[in-house]
Chain A
Amino acid sequence: MKDIYKVYRIENGTVIDHLPGGSAINVLKIIGTNSKDFIAIGMNLDSSKLGKKDLIKYENKILAKDETDKLALLAPGATINIIKDSKVVEKRKISIPTILRNLIKCKNPNCICNKEEMETEFYLVDENKKQYRCKYCEREYLITDDFVL
């Protein structure tokens, strides 16, 4: 708890905790910073589980499940807490998304989504392997950090 207060305590909003140390910036790229309210980022905090961990707090913003599920690609072990009136009202688990819209880039240079201004879309093929198929060129990939747009 001590580490959390280093970052700033929020009364209402979403706390994403137990992100792997150093991953917060990539997580923000995925979840976005589309909030007018305060967003606090803590990086490389001491963690008994992870050694070093990152955390992100969105004040006054309740992230939807499909938004936090996007974390399954980068930080499947992250925990999501929804805070209301300074109390945790929901501890949310991350499920791997069945569709990734405009989240990752196709690695096939000859895919149309790398040739035109357009959104990318990938469909989950194998949940355990985190394997997705590009909607356009139909190639399948095991998703790693370097796929992030």
Chain B
Amino acid sequence: MKYKGMDVISLRDLDRDFLDFLLKKTKEVKEGKWQNSCKGMIVASLFFEPSTRTKLSFDTAIAMTGASMIGFSSAATSSTAKGESLSDTIKTIDQYANIIVMRHSIEGAARRAAEVANAPVINAGDGANQHPTQTFLDLFTIYELKGGIENLKIGLMGDLRFGRTIHSLAMALSYYNVELYLISPSILQLPSYYIDYLDSKKIKYHITEDFTQIGKELDVLYCTRIQRERFADPVEYEKVAGSYEISTKNIDSLSKDTIILHPLPRVNEIHSSIDTDPRAKYFYQAKNGVYTRAALLGIIAGNIN
């Protein structure tokens, strides 16, 4: 009951106790416990910005909890298209729903919604800022496949500068005693304020540009996409992009127990020939999004405790 009615906006607001509780309860949900944890409730699913995985995963989770769903899947079908402010849209929907799930392209939109709504708000992504439920499912997948998170060596690879999933995950992992390998081209390194954050949490980390050199060390390799548009010079992009592609040519530089994760969608960073490798866990990871979100809804509803 401790977390009943809480807003879930940013990793910054959470603590280790909550993450441990969520991981434990997600495992129980996955094992078939806590069904219908939101029966009789209305969940508003407000996707002001299109999304495939997050929306469908939430929709499935809502169905699993026995709740009914209202909402929309793009701003064009909401009153925003008529010029209504976000605050007014949320205040109105707050009259109908017990829990609000929202995705918005504007940063801070979920925080603002939580201020004006009485119903708890779950941030399903606010622009380039936070995407906490993605982090929960990433964390749960590591926890489940590695039997815990403490003392793991985790590689974060790709666009560490702009990738919000990386930022949130690094923040969440910093609640645990982990060792991080930050693998990226120099221009896409983790921003200094996240480095400062890791320092403040006394997290050990290594900065490198080549995963093949440290692959055997890793328990987890978490990849993200390097976007072409981040590079002013396309030649520069072509030069570095290949070094961050996992394929049959370099997968043996990982240990046999290294799991490969990716928030998806992928483009070139993991070759499809890797999908059948037992270490490739990214689709399994996507499935965990449903259990994590179902557990979160039940916890916020106050019925999973």
Pairwise interchain contact A136-B112, C-beta atoms closer than 8 A: yes
Cβ of A135 within 8 Å of any chain B Cβ, yes or no, is yes
* Range for the number of chain A residues in contact with chain B: 10 to 19
How far is the CB of B237 from the nearest CB of chain A, in Å? Answer: 24
How far is the CB of B174 from the nearest CB of chain A, in Å? Answer: 15
Contacts A112-B86, A137-B127, A137-B129; A118 near B112 (Cβ below 8 A):
yes
Q: A116-B85, A137-B108 are in contact. List 13 more A-B contacts (CB 8 A).
A: A108-B107, A110-B128, A111-B107, A111-B108, A112-B107, A112-B111, A116-B86, A116-B87, A135-B108, A137-B107, A137-B129, A138-B10, A138-B107
Give the CA-CA distance A53 to B193 in the complex, in Å.
35
* Range for the number of chain B residues in contact with chain A: 10 to 19
How far is the CB of B89 from the nearest CB of chain A, in Å? Answer: 11
- Chain B residues near A140: list those with CB within 8 A: 193
- Chain A residues near B105: list those with CB within 8 A: 110
- Chain B residues near A110: list those with CB within 8 A: 105-107, 127-128
A93-144: which have CB < 8 Å to B? 108, 110-113, 115-118, 125, 134-140
- Chain A residues near B129: list those with CB within 8 A: 137-138
Of the candidates A111, A117, A134, A138, which one forms a contact with B106 in the assembled complex, judged by CB atoms under 8 Å apart? A111
Pairwise interchain contact B12-A138, C-beta atoms closer than 8 A: yes
How far is the CB of B117 from the nearest CB of chain A, in Å? Answer: 14
Residues of A within 8 A of B (CB): 108, 110-113, 115-118, 125, 134-140
Binary interface encoding of chain B residues 99-110 relative to chain A, with 1 for a CB under 8 A from any of its CBs, else 0: 000000111110
Give the CA-CA distance A49 to B128 in the complex, in Å.
46
Name 10 interchain pairs, CB-CB below 8 A, sorted by A: A110-B107, A111-B107, A112-B107, A125-B193, A136-B108, A137-B129, A138-B12, A138-B108, A139-B107, A140-B193
Cβ of B130 within 8 Å of any chain A Cβ, yes or no, is yes
Of the candidates B10, B106, B128, B193, which one forms a contact with A112 in the assembled complex, judged by CB atoms under 8 Å apart? B106
B70-94: which have CB < 8 Å to A? 85-87
- Chain A residues near B130: list those with CB within 8 A: 138
Of the candidates B87, B111, B193, which one forms a contact with A135 in the assembled complex, judged by CB atoms under 8 Å apart? B111
Pairwise interchain contact A134-B108, C-beta atoms closer than 8 A: yes
Residues of B within 8 A of A (CB): 10, 12, 85-87, 105-109, 111-112, 127-130, 193
Of the candidates A116, A118, A125, A136, which one forms a contact with B107 in the assembled complex, judged by CB atoms under 8 Å apart? A136
- Chain B residues near A125: list those with CB within 8 A: 193
A108, A112, A136 — which one has the most chain B CB atoms within 10 A of its CB? A112
Nearest 4 CB-CB pairings of A with B: A136-B108, A137-B107, A112-B108, A137-B108
- Chain A residues near B109: list those with CB within 8 A: 112
- Chain A residues near B193: list those with CB within 8 A: 125, 140
B12, B112, B128 — which one has the most chain A CB atoms within 10 A of its CB? B112
- Chain B residues near A135: list those with CB within 8 A: 108, 111
- Chain A residues near B106: list those with CB within 8 A: 110-112, 115
The residue of chain A having its C-beta at the shortest distance from the C-beta of B167 within the complex is A138
- Chain A residues near B108: list those with CB within 8 A: 111-113, 134-138
Pairwise interchain contact B127-A116, C-beta atoms closer than 8 A: no
Give the CA-CA distance A118 to B106 in the complex, in Å.
15
The residue of chain B having its C-beta at the shortest distance from the C-beta of A125 within the complex is B193
Give the CA-CA distance A140 to B12 in the complex, in Å.
13
Pairwise interchain contact A136-B111, C-beta atoms closer than 8 A: yes
How far is the CB of B119 from the nearest CB of chain A, in Å? Answer: 18
